[in-house]
Amino acid sequence: MVAVAPQVALRVGIVGLGRLGQRHAAALAHNTPGCRLVAACSPVEAERAYAANQLGIANVYADLDSLLADPAVDAVVLVTPTSLHADQTIAALKAGKHVFVEKPLALNVPDCERVLQVAAQYPDRVAMVGFVRRFDPSYLAAYQSVAAGEIGKPFLVRSQTCDQNDPEGFFVKFAPTSGGIFMDCSVHDIDLARWMLGRPKALRAFATGTIALHPGLADCGDVDNGIAVVEFEGSAKAVLYASRTMAHGHETSTEVIGTAGKLLVGEHAAANRVVKSDQHGVRHAVLKDFYERFEAAFAAEMAAFVAACRGITPLTLTLSDALEATRIGLAISRSLASGLPEAV
Amino acid sequence: MVAVAPQVALRVGIVGLGRLGQRHAAALAHNTPGCRLVAACSPVEAERAYAANQLGIANVYADLDSLLADPAVDAVVLVTPTSLHADQTIAALKAGKHVFVEKPLALNVPDCERVLQVAAQYPDRVAMVGFVRRFDPSYLAAYQSVAAGEIGKPFLVRSQTCDQNDPEGFFVKFAPTSGGIFMDCSVHDIDLARWMLGRPKALRAFATGTIALHPGLADCGDVDNGIAVVEFEGSAKAVLYASRTMAHGHETSTEVIGTAGKLLVGEHAAANRVVKSDQHGVRHAVLKDFYERFEAAFAAEMAAFVAACRGITPLTLTLSDALEATRIGLAISRSLASGLPEAV
Amino acid sequence: MVAVAPQVALRVGIVGLGRLGQRHAAALAHNTPGCRLVAACSPVEAERAYAANQLGIANVYADLDSLLADPAVDAVVLVTPTSLHADQTIAALKAGKHVFVEKPLALNVPDCERVLQVAAQYPDRVAMVGFVRRFDPSYLAAYQSVAAGEIGKPFLVRSQTCDQNDPEGFFVKFAPTSGGIFMDCSVHDIDLARWMLGRPKALRAFATGTIALHPGLADCGDVDNGIAVVEFEGSAKAVLYASRTMAHGHETSTEVIGTAGKLLVGEHAAANRVVKSDQHGVRHAVLKDFYERFEAAFAAEMAAFVAACRGITPLTLTLSDALEATRIGLAISRSLASGLPEAV
Amino acid sequence: MVAVAPQVALRVGIVGLGRLGQRHAAALAHNTPGCRLVAACSPVEAERAYAANQLGIANVYADLDSLLADPAVDAVVLVTPTSLHADQTIAALKAGKHVFVEKPLALNVPDCERVLQVAAQYPDRVAMVGFVRRFDPSYLAAYQSVAAGEIGKPFLVRSQTCDQNDPEGFFVKFAPTSGGIFMDCSVHDIDLARWMLGRPKALRAFATGTIALHPGLADCGDVDNGIAVVEFEGSAKAVLYASRTMAHGHETSTEVIGTAGKLLVGEHAAANRVVKSDQHGVRHAVLKDFYERFEAAFAAEMAAFVAACRGITPLTLTLSDALEATRIGLAISRSLASGLPEAV
């Protein structure tokens, strides 16, 4: 099987049409140059109906194997439960497809390593994990500034993923399978820290946390606010904060501190360019969730995947990055449980 | 001729493929749901080649009449010199096409009125003028806040269109035909002011200005920094500022002041969500031009035009709004020349 | 009479102990190096009691002549009704005292000119008008930046004095004697504009305004929101805004626009360095009034007056500046009445 | 010995006239109501000359005992090396003086405890440690907001003390006696965290750090950038950051996160209310050092000390607070050395 020629549109199949899957599907259908969304797969009948009726997709499957057997599909986009990511990625690669899989790649290191081993056997297939923030224009501008040496040598990253509180605590029921707050949220911050710091090897992690509003998390050893410190080879550090309980909205922010300056991305999470001055002070509205924050990044991410599959622009984001993010996230999670620093 | 059925894609022809025309064309080709870009027209051979080769358009014409005669075109998007807007809009309407025309509709009131008269004869054809800022998410949020009464009764709008200085002064050579700084730039602010204030009738305008950096403008009575005050019936006011000479970038901002609060849109023109702290202070990068500022708005504008043509969502922006913007802009321009307040 | 020796404390008498007078008195008593507050004068018995009991001043007078006759007073600080400023300043100079007088110097040009003529006869006496903003650290930093050429040649000042709305409309009863909103509020902005632009000669002024919330102002031809444009020799301009009706607080701000950059002072009027993120958005509290905004400036202003009287640091602020501010303010006020541009 | 009567000025002696000592002395001499600076003490002749000549103090001593023997001194302000704080505070209390001592109270717990024991024997003497940030208007406003429940229950404090880099590395030579970066800088953040969180008992601390620019610190086990996490009883946490290497200036900031909102104090460290827009972006100047940041707080701190000594306003800041700050700071420092969490 040979690479798709640059001038030929990539034929994509979407797998999983939950909330995020529908976002990816819409981007692929309407907003991504160089591709056609030609197939979809979901075990959920309503989602298949959505694919057929809303997206106008002809080839809709109930199981992944059928989709992977479809020769008219060049690439698959996996937006499925985390526990399935590794095996589905491997199956897709073995079927000769390019693969985009949502983060995290897996909740354990051996699964990640299995994927890397298989991927190594298919060097002409693209395999990409959805670290969407790397495709956000602001994060990209910050990275380019760091890479250009504008802040000197970076030595500290402070990064947070803070969600608006859901008074219903809907996420609590997913806690047992989410891998915990650090695997679910901080994995993005971990990847950003490694990216900004030049991919140093992580040595140790320390974590602590608190349950501020959702006592139901205690049963599975999770917290709704977590703090982690990561120590890297060469002495760089990362300080991470993840929260499920923000009152004001979704605030993802990252600071990169170097010897000649610092960059701060995303703070205050303004929903738009409007400032209101009234009896409540001078204020702006806040982003509600990560979809709203990263809408442009999700589109750019799909565009990057498609461009890589078509051989136009190689990816800098690798499966190895995903493996390291999982490895660090797991050490952090172990530290939360043990109360002690854990080797990565 | 009947309206295009909602489920049928609108077939669009683009007219004029200069810098802004190419932006509109790309949005129509890749980024606008419910339409197909099927034809293009330009007197410039390179632009026709662009349409054929870059956009893959089959039907490329050198003159407007040929495009208007094409029965496979439902709607035209006119991105042509201002002096042609009125006649081309009329011709397109008479050919049974929906029309989008870039602002301003015309540089004189009779031309605007001619367009309105013809448009009235084609009530099932959409005719829309490109006041793109109404489609910007921030301006839209501000408008909704005002309309919801959140700032009480609005009585003052302060609005500016300030371009980054072009040391080459490229725009100077267009000054004689641009209608002057107020017709070229402030027409957007005028429309915003009317929109935010509830479309009051304008009574008088006063203007003054200065040439800060481009003495070549003196020949045609233009300035590179202009100030205008508009008085409306019912006592609301607008204060406008237009500049060609900003050092930092493109800063379009608008303040709406009401009896219970105020809204400020767009100030400080941050290019992204990155704040840098270094030896130059704490700072952010600035938008370079109106394309960068209004990229999302241009896409939303095309989407609104297409949706209106397809009968899905009616427009609130009318040709009458465009006529009033021209009428006020002309009074401002007369005041700049006379030094006295001029009746609108 | 000779100048006070630098090492001898200046003996100051305060005249008028209303709200602002008490502020000045407290600054002189506790917070101004090189002076002693030794006398006070007020026709109001409660104010005299305040001077004696709260400030511990021994020499308290009911009339100005008595205070001026006190040989133990080197300098007077006049915080009296505007209508008295000119005559009291003249009387104090003739009594050999240094004089600080609150702004504006007078509500007409002949009164200002009378003061200048008398002051010219007492060149070793300091006569200073209270344009307090020149002593604010932020305005001073902006001025120094402009003077150092950091923004190139300044050509436009936009400046506003906006007070928080008083629902009681207390100020309406002072409207007949205040000189109107421009003489009362904008006189500061006028002085700032002249200062920042290098004291150009003003040529013309145009004004308009509206009554947004306080209809009682109509009786005396005043407005609660006023807009003015001033044209200077050499083509620089100023655009002024004065409001009595802000919902959020007191926001005094000034923008100086030059050929190489711009400076914006005081915008958003943050009361402190606290940002709150909650269900109302991301926000800060707002300054309540000009006392809060200019507390440090009032102290610095008194210190500058005392230092000038003691021969330590000459003033750059002159009576001529005060005369010009009045002259421009009057032209603006005439324009508000006539609806036409008025020569300054 | 009886308390000083409210209406009698407190007679203060300053001990130590280095850089910070001179600041305190100037505040006491010119800017603090209800006190007179009547004595000074320094082993340095130049500092004694400064006291006599610049401050006009009659009673200048070379040793503390002599000053403490002066019956005309009611209170002493100790601005001396940290190693002397405990013994000097004890000596002053035993001499019947009120005492203000700069932070930290001591670099070990037993010294702190000795001071508390002696202070307990002099309940009518004020003993206050200089946690100046509690007197900053912004921190005070934040505390009042937290105390009023405006952000719900606070559960996380993130606080930093970041100094502008000194390329000379002047501070490196003080590193061996400073107690390390956490005792020197973070002790303020520790006190703020306890204050904002309602004085919970600290249980454990974890720290790490890096040397970004000053390798000379390695000899004494110190770092120029340190991170610490503190766990409190009841599950609240604090995350601290201290840096000596900021490129842009001095940025002290503190975030208090609660179940219903969060407060952020001091971020971005604007030097004033001026925003400049030019070829470097939109930016503001930055505070240079903690003197500039906390100038008003230093004055308010002295005023609070004097008011407490005069029996007017009791202090809420206690010696026990200082003991706890030292105790936590020491646990953090031990963790930096051991690499493991340390019990407080």
Predicted confidence (pLDDT) per residue in A53-68, tens digit: 988 898 999 999 999 9
pLDDT, tens only, B63-120: 999 999 999 999 999 999 999 999 999 999 999 999 999 999 999 999 999 999 999 9
- Report how far Cα A17 is from the mean position of its chain's Cα atoms: 17
The tokens for C249 are: 């607080």
Given C93, C113, C130, the domain boundary residue is C130
A92 and A210 belong to one structural domain: no
pLDDT of residue B50: 95
D286 contact residues in B (CB cutoff 8 A): 277, 281-282
In the predicted structure, residue D4 carries a pLDDT above the cut 60: no
Q: How far apart are CA C202 and CA C194, in angstroms?
A: 9
D118 and D210 belong to one structural domain: no
Given D102, D130, D158, the domain boundary residue is D130
Is position C5 within any domain? no
D100 and D123 belong to one structural domain: yes
Place of tokens 């050929």: C259
The tokens for D288 are: 């240079």
C268 contact residues in A (CB cutoff 8 A): 275, 277, 282
Residue A39 Cα distances to A12, A71, A100, angstroms: 7, 11, 14
pLDDT, tens only, D308-342: 999 999 999 999 999 999 999 999 999 999 999 99
Q: What is the mean pLDDT of chain B?
A: 95
Mean pLDDT value of segment C200-204: 98
Are residues C273 and D30, on separate chains, in Cβ contact within 8 Å?
no
pLDDT band at D7 (very low <50, low <70, confident <90, very high): low
Residue B277 Cα distances to A259, B96, B101, C284, C314, angstroms: 11, 57, 44, 21, 38
A147 and A93 belong to one structural domain: no
Q: Does B273 touch chain D (CB under 8 A)?
A: no
D148 contact residues in C (CB cutoff 8 A): none
In the predicted structure, residue C5 carries a pLDDT above the cut 80: no
Is position D314 within any domain? no
Are residues C248 and A275, on separate chains, in Cβ contact within 8 Å?
no
Regarding beta strands B59-61 and B35-41, do their DSSP bridges make them parallel or antiparallel, or are they unpaired?
parallel
A267, A79, A235: which is closest to A158 by C-alpha?
A267
pLDDT of residue A7: 59
Q: How far apart are CA A104 and CA A322, in angstroms?
A: 7
Q: Does A120 touch chain B (CB under 8 A)?
A: no
- Expressed as residue numbers, the domain containing D230 is 134-297+324-343
Is position B189 within any domain? yes
Residues C243, C248, C253, C258, CA torsion sign: negative
Mean pLDDT value of segment D13-36: 92
List, edge to edge, every strand of the sheet that includes D35-41.
Answer: D59-61, D35-41, D10-15, D75-78, D98-102, D127-130
Q: What is the mean pLDDT of chain A?
A: 95
In the predicted structure, residue C4 carries a pLDDT above the cut 60: no
Is position D220 within any domain? yes
Q: How far apart are CA D179 and CA D190, in angstroms?
A: 15
The identity of residue D278, as a single letter, is D
Phi/psi at A273 (5° precision)? -95, 25
B119 and B193 belong to one structural domain: no
Given B130, B164, B196, the domain boundary residue is B130
In the predicted structure, residue C216 carries a pLDDT above the cut 60: yes
Neighbouring CB atoms inside 10 A of B204's CB total 18
Residue B65 Cα distances to B41, B44, B81, angstroms: 9, 15, 16
Distance from CA of D6 to the nearest CA of C (A): 14
Are residues C155 and B225, on separate chains, in Cβ contact within 8 Å?
yes
For A150-206, give the DSSP string: TTSSEEEEEEEEEEEP-TT-GGGGGHHHHTHHIIIIIHHHHHHHHHHHTSPPEEEEE
Are residues C264 and D279, on separate chains, in Cβ contact within 8 Å?
no
Distance from CA of B276 to the nearest CA of D (A): 9
Distance from CA of C187 to the nearest CA of A (A): 25
B189 and B273 belong to one structural domain: yes
C73 and C51 belong to one structural domain: yes
In the predicted structure, residue A137 carries a pLDDT above the cut 80: yes
Grouping H, G, I as helix, E, B as strand and the rest as coil, residue C122 is coil
In the predicted structure, residue C2 carries a pLDDT above the cut 80: no
Contact yes or no for A178/A186 (Cβ under 8 A): no
Q: Does A268 touch chain C (CB under 8 A)?
A: yes
Contact yes or no for D254/D142 (Cβ under 8 A): yes
pLDDT band at A175 (very low <50, low <70, confident <90, very high): confident
pLDDT, tens only, C303-339: 999 999 999 999 999 999 999 999 999 999 999 999 9
- DSSP label at C182? I
pLDDT band at D170 (very low <50, low <70, confident <90, very high): confident
Is position C308 within any domain? no
User: At A57, which CATH number?
Assistant: 3.40.50.720
Listed in sequence order, the DSSP H helices in C34-108 are 45-53, 64-68, 82-94
Q: How far apart are CA A37 and CA B181, in angstroms?
A: 46
In the predicted structure, residue B6 carries a pLDDT above the cut 50: no
In the predicted structure, residue D5 carries a pLDDT above the cut 80: no
pLDDT of residue B7: 59
B234, B233, B214, B235: which is closest to B223 by C-alpha?
B214
Grouping H, G, I as helix, E, B as strand and the rest as coil, residue D299 is helix
User: At A234, which CATH number?
Assistant: 3.30.360.10
Are residues C281 and A285, on separate chains, in Cβ contact within 8 Å?
yes
In the predicted structure, residue B186 carries a pLDDT above the cut 50: yes
Is position B298 within any domain? no
Task: Give the alpha-carbon dihedral of A242, A244, A248, A250, to 10 degrees.
Answer: 60
Contacts of B75 (CB under 8 A, 6+ apart): B10, B11, B12, B13, B35, B97, B98, B99, B100, B126, B305, B306, B309
A42 and A14 belong to one structural domain: yes
Listed in sequence order, the DSSP H helices in A182-318 are 187-197, 290-293, 295-309
Check if the interface score ipTM surpasses 0.90.
Answer: yes
Q: How far apart are CA A321 and CA A337, in angstroms?
A: 25
Q: How far apart are CA C102 and CA A65, in angstroms?
A: 85
D50 and D156 belong to one structural domain: no
Closest CB to D212 among A158, A229, A259:
A259
pLDDT, tens only, C15-41: 999 999 999 998 898 878 889 999 999
Are residues C247 and B259, on separate chains, in Cβ contact within 8 Å?
yes
C20 and C73 belong to one structural domain: yes
- DSSP label at C136? S
pLDDT of residue A67: 98
pLDDT, tens only, B313-328: 999 999 999 999 999 9
In the predicted structure, residue A6 carries a pLDDT above the cut 60: no
pLDDT, tens only, D44-94: 999 999 999 988 898 999 999 999 999 999 999 999 999 999 999 999 999
Contacts of B120 (CB under 8 A, 6+ apart): none
A116 and A143 belong to one structural domain: no
pLDDT of residue C177: 87
pLDDT of residue A4: 41
Is position A166 within any domain? yes
pLDDT of residue A5: 46
pTM of the complete model: 0.96
A263 and A165 belong to one structural domain: yes
Contact yes or no for A191/A295 (Cβ under 8 A): no
Is position A301 within any domain? no
Q: What is the mean pLDDT of chain D?
A: 95
pLDDT of residue D222: 97
Mean pLDDT value of segment A233-237: 96
pLDDT band at C293 (very low <50, low <70, confident <90, very high): very high
Q: Work out how many domains chain A is built from and give that number.
A: 2
B272, B300, B296: which is closest to B286 by C-alpha?
B272
Lowest model confidence (mean pLDDT) among A336-340, C24-28, C174-178: C174-178
pLDDT of residue A171: 86
Computed on alpha carbons and rounded to an integer, the radius of gyration of chain D in Å comes to 20
Are residues A277 and B285, on separate chains, in Cβ contact within 8 Å?
no
